[in-house]
């Protein structure tokens, strides 16, 4: 499964950038929701984790 | 959408792994300190107000305006694990995307360097202005702290990128300025730092949070470096050097 696949990486750089951006926004959304949501329920569920990650809390 | 799929797959696997590691470390090292601090928090609030935050005994639901929270013990631990794993995947997505933008992580050793970068951006830099807090400790306005936290993360990531990924001395200097700037501006601080939480308990917590996050990021970077070559068909050749 080693990689010698330069030729296969045929996606245009524009499409590549778009797909990477999409994945990046997904990551931002997930961490933002768990770490920063002001919803009480989300806060309470993730309380100990938020403190342990030093996310601003309370 | 091969690239998107492969990035998500690598991030999901590595985030799951690092999230499990993080959960184990938090249960062992940080959560016990949080529980100790909650005893002081409860003592400070006294009387009726004490029911409001972290206590929820049998007489618990006062007027139904109190939001759900997990019961202490196993349920609470499970939600901590869920948060750690979900966020682990989120952080992993950010790490994989950032590294793919400059060619991808070639192996576990390079992954460790990327892990150090993630630790610097998401733990070290924010923690200088806003050290990890225990329950019951005073803090400035939540929204202001969140805004500063996001600002320092963006500035530090941008600064590191300018230093590591460009060949220009001027841009590297700009990167250093970006990293320092949020600390010159300063994080929002409470009017008073007085708290019932003992200073040595807080100190232990700061150390525990910082070290567990370091291990989380190193584990995450290394596992991404190990997994990435197996999905590299859709991602392109790994880069030959870090920068």
Query: How far apart are the CA of A12 and the nearest CA of chain B, in angstroms?
Result: 11
pLDDT value for B65 = 61
- Indicate if the pLDDT at residue B203 is higher than 60: yes
Q: Would residue B184 count as lying in a domain?
A: no
Which of helix, strand or coil describes residue B140? coil
Neighboring chain B residues of A1 at a CB cutoff of 8 Å? 229-230
Task: In whole angstroms, give the CA distance from residue B190 to residue B140.
Answer: 4
- Indicate if the pLDDT at residue B120 is higher than 60: yes
CA dihedral A51, B94, B223, A36 (to 10 degrees): 10
Q: Which domain holds residue B210?
A: 2-47+70-139+190-234
Neighboring chain B residues of A44 at a CB cutoff of 8 Å? 67-70
Q: Would you call B234 and A11 a contact, using CB atoms and an 8 Å cutoff?
A: yes
Per the rule left: phi > 0, alpha: psi between -120 and 50, beta: everything else, B103 is left
pLDDT value for B2 = 86
Task: In whole angstroms, give the CA distance from residue B221 to residue B112.
Answer: 5
Domain ranges of chain A: 13-52
Q: How many domains is chain B built from? A: 1
Instruction: Give me the residue from B2, B97, B101 closest to A11, CB to CB.
Output: B2
The angle, 0 to 180 degrees and rounded to 10, between the axes of the packed helices B2-25 and B199-227 is: 150
Of B219, B226, B243, B210, nearest to B112 by C-alpha is: B219
Query: How far apart are the CA of B88 and the nearest CA of chain A, in angstroms?
Result: 8
Which residues does chain A have with pLDDT short of 50? Answer: 1-9
Q: Would you call B134 and A55 a contact, using CB atoms and an 8 Å cutoff?
A: no
Q: Would you call B3 and A20 a contact, using CB atoms and an 8 Å cutoff?
A: yes
Q: Would residue B149 count as lying in a domain?
A: no
For B181, the enclosing helix (H) or strand (E) is: helix B169-185
Q: Would residue B200 count as lying in a domain?
A: yes
8-state DSSP, B127: H
Q: Would you call B130 and A53 a contact, using CB atoms and an 8 Å cutoff?
A: no
Neighboring chain A residues of B88 at a CB cutoff of 8 Å? none
- Residue A28 near residue B56, CB atoms below 8 Å: no
Task: In whole angstroms, give the CA distance from residue B109 to residue B97.
Answer: 18
Task: In whole angstroms, give the CA distance from residue B128 to residue B194.
Answer: 19
Query: With b meaning 16 or more CB within 10 Å and e meaning fewer, what string describes B220-238?
Result: bbbbbbbbbbebbebbbeb
Instruction: Give me the residue from B87, B132, B135 closest to A35, CB to CB.
Output: B87
Q: Would residue B174 count as lying in a domain?
A: no
pLDDT value for B234 = 61
Task: In whole angstroms, give the CA distance from residue B184 to residue B191.
Answer: 19
DSSP codes joined into one string, B25-81: HIIIIIHHHHHHHHHHHHHHH-HHHHHHTT---TT--STT-SPP-PPTTHHHHHHHH
Task: In whole angstroms, give the CA distance from residue A52 to residue B52.
Answer: 22
**Predicted TM-score (pTM) of this structure:** 0.86
pLDDT tens figures, B147-179: 999 999 999 999 999 999 999 999 999 999 999
Determine the residue of chain A that is closest to B147 in CA distance. A56
């Amino acid at each position: 499964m080693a990689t010698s696949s330069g030729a296969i990486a045929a996606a245009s750089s524009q499409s590549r950038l778009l797909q990477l951006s999409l994945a990046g926004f997904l990551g931002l959304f997930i961490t933002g929701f768990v770490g920063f949501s002001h919803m009480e329920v989300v806060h309470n569920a993730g309380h100990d984790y938020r403190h342990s990650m030093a996310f601003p809390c309370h | 959408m091969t690239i998107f799929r492969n990035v998500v797959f690598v991030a999901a696997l590595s985030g799951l792994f690092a999230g499990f590691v993080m959960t184990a470390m938090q249960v062992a090292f940080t959560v016990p300190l949080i529980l100790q601090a909650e005893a002081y928090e409860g003592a400070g609030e006294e009387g009726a107000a004490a029911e409001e935050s972290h206590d929820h005994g049998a007489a618990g639901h006062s007027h139904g305006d109190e939001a759900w929270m997990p019961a202490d013990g196993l349920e609470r631990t499970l939600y901590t694990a869920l948060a750690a794993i979900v966020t682990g995947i989120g952080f992993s997505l950010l790490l994989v995307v950032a590294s793919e933008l400059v060619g991808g992580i070639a192996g576990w050793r390079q992954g460790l360097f990327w892990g150090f970068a993630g630790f610097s951006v998401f733990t070290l830099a924010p923690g200088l202005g806003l050290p990890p807090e225990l329950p019951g400790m005073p803090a400035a306005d939540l929204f202001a702290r969140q805004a500063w936290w996001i600002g320092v993360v963006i500035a530090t990531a941008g600064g590191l990128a300018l230093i590591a990924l460009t060949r220009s001395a001027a841009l590297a200097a700009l990167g250093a300025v970006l990293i320092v700037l949020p600390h010159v501006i300063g994080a929002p601080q409470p009017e008073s730092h007085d708290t019932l939480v003992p200073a040595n308990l807080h100190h232990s917590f700061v150390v525990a949070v910082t070290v567990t996050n370091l291990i989380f990021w190193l584990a995450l970077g290394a596992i991404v470096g190990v997994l990435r070559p197996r999905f590299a068909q859709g991602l392109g050749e790994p880069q030959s050097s870090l920068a």
